[in-house]
Chains A and B, each alone.
Chain A
Amino acid sequence: MKAPAAIPPPMGVDVVETTGNTMTLSLGPQHPSTHGVLQVVVEVSGETIERAEMEIGYLHTGIEKSAENLFWTQAQTVIERMDYLNPVGNALCYVLAAEQLLGVTERIPPRAQAIRVLMTELTRISSHCVWLGTHGIDLGAISAFWYIFDIRENVLDLVELAGGARMHPNYLRIGGVNGDVPEGYLAKLDELIAKFPQRMREMRSLLQNNPIWRDRTIDVGVVTPEDAIRWSLTGPALRASGIAYDVRKAFPYCGYDTYDFDVPVRTEGDAYARFLVRLDEMDQAMRIISQVRKRLDTPGPIMIDDPKIAPPAKETIALSMEALIHHFKLVSEGFRVPPGDVYQAIESPRGELAYYLVSNGNNRPYRVRTRPPSMYNLQALKQMAIGNLIADVVVMIGSLDPVFGEVDR
């Protein structure tokens, strides 16, 4: 009789070696539930993880190096591609840092600040939509994906309407935003504001009290507050462990201190707590958006009144020599930024996103160092995974919400 053939491991999982009671498995890098290209090598005894190591860098594109070789305004285009689920947040952080170096932070028009807050909160919602949809798919809850992507479509439509593109609008500028929101925009925004709470109730009824969902996420990947601090977790991952650190409250920017919103906190520290914190955050983001909506009724300038930074209006170029010269200089060699270094942080959907910018007085940034929240959050998986089941690795990765454009840059 022929011996039965060995059962091959599932796609994307390779058995690297077997020694004694433990087996080393390689999960990824081509695995649908790793949310990108992540390789997790786990040592398992039975189904329990004893050690986990990760290999990143598969998506390394040298964005920091590229940004150092572009003009200050051009660099923003590549920077938006780091965290591709939160392009506006990345651009905002960079733009704020550059404005600090230029010393123009106080001179940004309030309407520009309001539009920036609107766009960042919209992308926070769209980013959390992708997280929720894919996290659900990882755990077998496919319906949630279709419902949540309906909201995401509406949100991206609003981003596109204002910025001109769905994913990477490159809408913000050093000194303000590229243009005012178009006619009819606020009516569309009102529609979303009206529709959103009902959609969120549907999402919650699909998952929040779903017994399967609860079984898969409660007490999985528990992080204590001490560990969260040791591993430098930020964002929802930190707030699910009880520490209510939110950059928007601790170091307000763009006038966030003038908006009324709460910071959702849970103390359980497990995957379910991170899920609830993100859901609550989406509601809070919409609460901020409806406050921005009221401010957008008052018209006003959307760019700083400084011809050395803001490009002149198109119609003035043919009429004014100064405008033509400024236009030529800004396009051909950009503007210079006074020498210095600055650390600017914002609250991205994943945590504290920051840029450490160095200028040597040139027309290009000298150094663009990112503090990537995904990378530090993901690193904690090395400890979080120990003692959990191998099937829960997927839950833990999903609950940390890493974006590999940012982890690898």
Chain B
Amino acid sequence: MPSSQSPSIAGTALDPTSVRPPVADAEIVRVAPAEVRETLVRLKAEGCSMLLDVGAVDYLEREPRFDVVYHLLALPAVAASVAQIGTPRRVRVLAGVPGNATALPSVADLWPNADWAEREIFDLFGITFEGHPDLRRIQMPEDWQGYPLRKDYPLRGPAREATPRPAFALKSNVPAGTPPAGRVAAALQKQRERGPADDVVRDTGTGEKSST
């Protein structure tokens, strides 16, 4: 939790990716949303076979507002030794997504692991992926409102408290309203019939037994 006594120092860089220090961590490719797919298809054909991760960053005051970041790694798709792999090529594709048109083409057909990664970005940033087979929330409950990792989503405070918090059970593949099945249902029913427990003896740790 940030302490109220230590105000944040004002940020200096509107677009940190343009003023980055000389760190040779990957080749960096910046593309417009329309070119994302063709760039990734080309890179995959060039041998960047693994889609390590898809993440997103909200720059809030920058235009385009969001960056969706694809991390690619060139690994052989056959058994290979440490020497054969050497230092594989890393590529980072940054796609700027404007705040008023938050959509990108999905790459879940190129790499199946993009499925969950894109769902997570949809869930936490509200960026939709066209052509995704099953685009729905993944971390937050289905009926959550707002996109928590956006910079204008408050960490806490009245606006955060006003967000309705659905029951935990709603985040489930089981259709809403399905009664619990099996022994759990029977146990619950029994518990209901018994009513509130009034004869539980609790050890208070003081040597005396208190009854609640």
Q: Residues of A with Cβ closer than 8 Å to B?
A: 8-11, 13-16, 26, 29, 39, 41, 53, 55-58, 60, 62, 64-66, 69-71, 100-101, 103, 225-226, 229-232, 234, 241-246, 249-251, 263, 265, 267, 332-334, 336, 338-344, 352, 354, 356, 358-364, 366-367, 369, 371, 375-376, 379-380, 382-383, 408-409
Contacts and interface: CB of A to CB of B under 8 A. Distances in A.
Interface of B: 1-2, 5-6, 8-14, 16-17, 19-21, 23, 25-26, 49-53, 55-58, 69, 71, 75-82, 84-88, 90, 92, 111-113, 115-116, 137-140, 148-149, 153, 155, 168, 171-174, 178, 180-184, 186
A338 B184 CA distance: 55
8 contacts: A8-B181, A14-B174, A225-B78, A229-B75, A250-B88, A333-B9, A341-B17, A379-B112
A250 B23 contact: no
Contacts of A361: 11-13, 16
Nearest to B86: A250
A57 B144 CA distance: 13
A11 B23 contact: no
Contacts of B172: 29, 39, 55
B55 A16 contact: no
B181 A9 contact: yes
A341 B20 contact: yes
Contacts of B140: 57, 60
Q: Is the interface of B mostly helix, strand, loop or mixed?
A: loop
A371 B155 contact: no
A56 B52 contact: no
A362 B8 contact: yes
Contacts of B1: 69-70
Given A336-B9, A361-B12, A243 B2 contact: no
Contacts of A363: 8-9
B35 to A, nearest CB: 20
B55 A8 contact: no
Contact of B182 (A11, A39, A340): A11
Contacts of A229: 49-50, 75, 77
Given A60-B140, A360-B12, A376-B116, 20 more contacts: A8-B182, A10-B182, A14-B180, A57-B171, A64-B149, A71-B6, A229-B77, A243-B76, A244-B81, A250-B82, A265-B81, A333-B6, A339-B19, A340-B19, A343-B71, A343-B92, A362-B10, A369-B57, A379-B112, A379-B115
